[in-house]
Structure formats: structure tokens, C-alpha cells
Amino acid sequence: MAQRGAWGLAGAAALVLASGPLWLNDYFLHVLILCFIWTIVVAAWDLTIGYAGIFNFAQLALFSVGGYGSAMLAMRLGLPPLAAMAGAAVVTGIFGFLIALPCLRLKGEYVALFTFSVHLALPTFLEKGRAFGTGGATGLMGIPPVKLFGVTLNTANKTGWYLLALAAAAVAVWLIYAVIVRSRAGRSFVALRDAEDFARSLGVDDMRAKLLLFTLSAAITGFGGALYTHYIGVITPRVLGNEFFLLAMVMLSIGGMGRFPGVILGVFVVMIGNELLREFGQYRLLILGIAVVAVVIWLPDGLGGLVARLRGRAAR
């Protein structure tokens, strides 16, 4: 019943957001487009950390692989942007599968260390990989815009991009939380998180489940990275910088892991708050850090836990 209520609120919010171009200017449309894109990325991250309890810190690496992959497929091979984005999702899924293979022999903090080492190593490869078509330290510029139904969605076409990003985020959220999490595989993820030995005794194949999880999460993340790249029109190794990583972590922490629709709320709160705090310059991340500490102390389950408690009180 609570889940139906959450999905009802999510559907109503999506309908309200769909009317955004009618009453929002280009600046607010831009901020919300970024919210939609990061919703895809952070929701996919929630699938591994929140629902499976696997500390995967290579999420931004997967994001950049999707972005670079789509840009290179479009620029080097001449694929249409939509086809390049789909291809990038497949490539990122394969990359996630390869990351998952060593993780099968690791547990807990060792998975975190290994995946974070992938995150740390990738910028150097991108900067030194000009021969592979990464563009080196300057990255890739002039990435072809998406064309949909005869309309070119360049950066200036905020309305078109807004609707595309909203639709992509809605599909990703539905796929993650209504299909994957509720499927047999999704229940296996949660069982392995809560009681791994007991889940194994019931016949859950933990290796197969983890490989599937990493691959699905990586593919969705890669699509989000591709969407971001074609919207911005440029991608550089900077996407693997500390600011992007910290913002994603803050979104996940404030939203509440494994508690739909917590991380989605976290994305919107952090992205909009980040824009409001830009006038504070270098102190912006400090303020966000203090906000995370406050949430951990007073809302240990994040905004998702707060929403669940409010729904419980309303039901009583």
C-alpha cells in the first residue's frame, strides 16, 4: 500500500514536471535537466549500494565511460547520437561486468577499495589515451547534438532536452524500482545484502546475482553519462573530479539508500541547493558537507526514511 502511494506521488510529480516548459525560464529548465540526468545515475548507484549492499565506488567511472563511449561512437564512427547512446550503454554494461569479475573474490571494504581504484586510474588513461580517441586532457568537444523527430536538440533547445531528459529519467526510475528491484533477481540482491549465508542456503547464486547487478547498473549509468555528454556537448576527464563524485555521494546520503523515492528527492534537493549556494564559491562544498553530517545525525535513513515515517503517521 505504501509503495502504491509512493508511485502515485511520483506519477503526479512527473505530470507536474512535464508542464515545466510552460512556466519555467531556460535557467530553471537547465537545472532540472541536470536533475533528471543525475536521477538516472544516482538511482542506478542506489541499486548496487542501497539494495544490494555492495560498496561500488566506480559509479563516476561508469558515468564517464558512457559519456566518452557515446561521444566517440558519434564522432569517430559517425553513428547517429541516439544509436551512439544505446551503444554506449552496452559498452558500459560490459565494462561493469569486467569490474564485477574481480569483485566476486572480494568483500566489504575491499570491494570499495578496488572500485575506487578504478575511479582513480581512469582519468590518467583518458588524459594519456589521445591515440585511442579520448582527446587527451582537453577531452572531446563538438559532440553531435541529438536529433529526434526531425528536431535538433542542441544546448539552446532547452524545451526539447527537458522533455527528453524527463522521459529518460522516468523510464530509468520505473525500470530500476518497479522492474529490477521487484523481480526475482532484485529480491536476490536484497536477500544477499541482509543475510548472505542464509540466501545461499536457499539456492541464491550470489556470483550470478552480482554479475547481473553490476552489468544492469553500469548500463543504466552509461546511458545517463551519454545523455549528459550530448546535452553539454563536451566531455573531459574533469567529470571524474572530486566535485562530481562528492555531489553524487551527497545525493545518495541525503536521499537515503535503498528507500524509494529517497535518492530521487536527494538529487533534486542537492542540485537545486548547489545552485543556490554558488555565490558562496569555494565554501559551497563545505556547506554541503555540513548538511550531510546533519542528515546523518538527525535523519539516519535520509529523506526516504523521513517520507516513510510521514506516510506511516498519516496512515495511523
**312: confidence class by pLDDT, cuts 50, 70, 90:** low
Residue 11: per-residue pLDDT: 66
- For the entire predicted model, the pTM comes to 0.91
From 251, 303, 280, select the one nearest 39 (Cα to Cα).
Answer: 251
* 3-state DSSP assignment of residue 299: coil
More confident residue, 18 or 119: 119
Mind listing the pLDDT tens digit for each residue in 223-280? Answer: 999 999 999 999 999 888 888 888 888 898 888 888 888 889 999 998 998 888 888 8
Q: What pLDDT does residue 166 have? A: 94
Q: Is the pLDDT of residue 154 over 90?
A: no
Answer for the pair 151, 89: CB distance below 8 angstroms, yes or no.
no
* 142: region left, alpha or beta (phi > 0 left; psi from -120 to 50 alpha): left
Q: How do residues 44-88 score in pLDDT, each as one tens digit?
A: 999 999 888 888 999 999 999 999 999 999 998 989 999 999 999
Provide the pLDDT for residue 80.
93
Give the C-alpha separation, 252 to 249, whole Å: 5
Q: What are 6-25's pLDDT values in tens digits?
A: 666 666 777 778 888 888 88
Backbone angle region of 9, left / alpha / beta, with phi > 0 → left and psi within -120 to 50 → alpha: alpha
Instruction: Burial-class residue 176 by CB neighbours within 10 Å (0-12, 13-18, 19+).
Output: buried
What pLDDT, on a 0 to 100 scale, did the predictor assign at position 45? Answer: 94
Q: What does each C-alpha distance from 164 to 69, 224, 281 come to in angstroms? A: 20, 12, 31
The domain segmentation of the chain, as residue ranges, is 20-237, 241-316
pLDDT at 314: 67
Q: What letters, b where the CB count within 10 A reaches 16 and e where it falls short, cover 274-292?
A: bbebeeeeeebbeebeebb
| Statement: residue 1 has pLDDT above 60 | no
Indicate if the pLDDT at residue 4 is higher than 70: no
Question: How far apart, in whole angstroms, are the C-alpha atoms of residue 90 and residue 81?
Answer: 14
Overall average pLDDT of the 135-152 stretch: 87
- Average pLDDT in the 140-167 region? 88
DSSP 8-state class, residue 173: H
Tell me, what's the pLDDT at 8? 66
Chain position carrying cell 523521513: 306
pLDDT at 5: 57
Q: Tell me how far apart the alpha carbons of residues 183 and 120 are, in angstroms, rounded to a whole number.
A: 33
All three cell numbers of 10: 511520483
CB half-sphere exposure, 111, CA atoms < 13 A: 19
Q: Are 72 and 266 in contact (CB under 8 A)?
A: no
- Say if residue 316's pLDDT is above 80: no
**Average pLDDT of the segment spanning 295-313:** 77
Helix (H, G, I), strand (E, B) or coil at 154: coil
Q: What is the pLDDT of residue 97?
A: 94
- Nearest CA among 200, 67, 173, 183 for reference residue 122: 67
pLDDT band at 116 (very low <50, low <70, confident <90, very high): very high
User: Other CB atoms closer than 10 Å to residue 175's CB: what's the count?
Assistant: 17
Distance CA 85, CA 69 (A): 8
Considering only the C-alpha atoms of the chain, give the largest distance between any 2 of them, rounded to a whole number of Å.
Answer: 63
